[in-house]
Amino acid sequence: MSSVPLSHILFVSTALFFIGMYGLFTRRNMITMLMAIELILNSVNINFVVFNKYLYPDKLDGIFFVIFIITIAAAEAAVAIAIIINLYRSHRSIDVENATEMKW
Amino acid sequence: MISAFILGAGLLAMTTRKIFRSAIWLLFSLIGIAALYFWLQVEFIAAVQIVVYVGGIVVLIIFSIFLTQQSDKEMPKQPLRRIITSTLAILFGFGLTFLQIWKYNFQPTTRSFDWTVSKIGSQMLNTAAGGYALPFEVVSMLLLAAMVGCIVIAMKAGPQQPPSKHKESEQSKKTIPQGFQFAEHENEKIVSLQEKTGGTSQ
């Protein structure tokens, strides 16, 4: 079970991070950019859990960080979606290119 | 196997051009990450992942997709130049990062990872050194602030939706003071409530 070396799991999380980064670069739709951010946060979570399990198994700090990151990600997604829906009401689109003005 | 599932689903989520399919692929990717946590024998984090991400955030995203656009409409194609440059940047960054990981010789310990939910809970509410009571309180305040902020943002536009765009912007202009009035009203209510309770205690 733990015969899988640490760097292989780090490979997965790094690849996931850069997939999310690719989505963040190429997409111009706000909801898909939000999904890319979720992927990035998940790759960071994998890193925390794996480092905690493999390198410092007698501590629990990585698990706490993962719990706090998940909480903050949930709050961030809720606020972002509220902003997106409000923006859609006033602009009729959710492209970032059309959202250059931030006051009305 | 699980890794291939996660990466394939994530890649499809970021490259498919229909936004609803993108959300479904994201759902599969998050489930794959939960499976990875199960495989690492961190069942608590896996359960939290499923509950919060799969049950909460993805449902929220799908709702917002339904609210903001037609699901069968394809997104416009990206310009090729942007795709090529971002792919190059991604590959370069991935190569650099993975080279660092590969070169660094990690020394994994052979001790087994022991965690229990009671251990996590007692350390989370511990105020001594190494305890996480202060971040716990800060995060709870953050959640409260996010909730209040969502309600305020959603209240700005008003309950009724006028048909045309210009009218709507005017409407939203008008309704800001209403929202503030409502907030002040609530504050007054709370203050009067506090006074009441204080009076009874005295």
Find residue A95's DSSP bridge partners: A29
Among the partner residues B82, B119, B153, nearest to A82 by beta-carbon distance: B153
Task: Flag if A49 and B30 touch (Cβ within 8 Å).
Answer: no
Per-residue confidence at A89, pLDDT binned at 50, 70, 90? Answer: confident
CA distance B21 to B24: 5
Considering B54-58, B131-135, B197-201, the range whose residues carry the highest mean pLDDT is B54-58
CA distance A30 to B2: 29
Residue of B nearest to A23 (CA): B14
**DSSP-based three-state secondary structure for B145:** helix
Tens digits of per-residue pLDDT, B131-151?
A: 788 888 888 999 999 988 888
Chain A, residues 22-41, CB within 8 A of chain B, namely 22-23, 25-29, 31-32, 34-36, 38-39
DSSP string spanning B41-88? T-HHHHHHHIIIIIIIIHHHHHHHHHHHS-TTPBPPPPPHHHHHHHHH
Task: Give ipTM to 2 decimals.
Answer: 0.85
Choose among A29, A24, A95: nearest CA to B89.
A24
Pairwise pLDDT comparison (B200 vs A103), residue with the higher score = A103
Which string of b and e fits B39-71 if b means at least 16 CB within 10 Å? ebebeebbebbbebbbebbbebbbebbeebbee
pLDDT above 80 for B171: no
Task: Flag if B112 and A57 touch (Cβ within 8 Å).
Answer: yes
- Stretch (H or E) spanning A93: none
Task: Classify residue B99 by its DSSP letter.
Answer: H
Tens digits of per-residue pLDDT, B16-42?
A: 767 778 888 888 888 888 888 888 888
User: What is the maximum span of chain B, computed from C-alpha positions, in angstroms?
Assistant: 73
Tens digits of per-residue pLDDT, A43-55?
A: 999 999 988 888 8
CA distance A84 to chain B (A): 8
**What's the pLDDT at B26?**
86
